[in-house]
Structure 1
């Protein structure tokens, strides 16, 4: 990666992000060897210092890579939309409102998020 110039890879911004991630792994900011043992918020904090990685990306990493069961990605549009569909709400809840609503699903908020995504998916299916 260090020898490859940005002109050889697509999207220089992505290259810069990959390089920054490599640097943060090398200097211990993102400890890949023990990241699976860190608490959720610490994983989010450590990943969020990497260029191009924000809270949403870190939460998706927790859900899909580390398979954490209690992640509630309140800024995810699919979760917000799906929650509204599942509960028959006319409007989307704000992330702050959704955060409060998610408390009832602890310690399995990831499962609730999956059902929210599924509600959106089901709504998009063509009716027969």
Structure 2
């Protein structure tokens, strides 16, 4: 089973990364420790992550809250009862409506078992989730990081992470993902927590806090 972080070891992992990388030490000294962002292992959480694809966090949360208002409890069965019109009224695009329904059907049929994922390796989880239309590597990365709290995920499909590395390391804009992976090699096996530090840095820079919150949205997945 992959390594996991939790409230008992999170800050010590941050400290280990700070010892390994002076830029992380600088982030902690200037902005403090990053929040330990986490989410429950539920269908609703995966719906939320799907809604976050390619939009601002605020827009995704607005759609999630509309769904909550409409059906109270966001479950696979409840979502499948909604019409296309009702989904649109909850700010769900046609594509995301389809993605959410594919996920709901996969869970109801037993193709996807979220509880079983808690004991599985990263790549086995990635294979199962990416088999569903509308779920790509970014969605899986966020699920592994925020829900299962696996320690060694580096979501280079997230523009905020890429930009944060480039800014923190004073790298040119044309730096490739392959080069970023080499830079992140010393952060193993704690690249998830390194990513938390990077998000924290990106959101904490005074010049653009509000803009950063809106920009921390993923690229299109599929």
TM-score bin, normalised by smaller chain: 0.7 to 0.9
Shift of 1:61: 0.8
Matched, 1:15 2:97: yes
Alignment counterpart, residue 5 of structure 1, candidates 80, 83, 86: 83
Paired residue total: 126
Shift of 1:91: 2.6
Matched, 1:96 2:185: no
Distance 1:2 1:88, change over 3 A: closer
Distance 1:6 1:87, change over 3 A: same
Matched, 1:126 2:204: no
Matched, 1:116 2:198: yes
Partner of 2:118: 36
CA contact (8 A) 1:79 1:113 kept: yes
Matched, 1:83 2:165: yes
Shift of 1:92: 5.0
> What's the secondary structure of 1:84's corresponding residue?
helix
Alignment counterpart, residue 68 of structure 1, candidates 136, 150, 163: 150
Distance 1:24 1:86, change over 3 A: same
User: In 2, distance between residues paired with 1:102 and 1:28?
Assistant: 37
User: In 2, distance between residues paired with 1:108 and 1:126?
Assistant: 28
Distance 1:126 1:101, change over 3 A: closer
**Larger relative contact order (CA 8 Å, sep ≥ 6):** 2
Distance 1:64 1:89, change over 3 A: same
User: In 2, distance between residues paired with 1:12 and 1:64?
Assistant: 26
Q: Name structure 1 gaps, 5 residues minimum.
A: none
Matched, 1:105 2:182: no
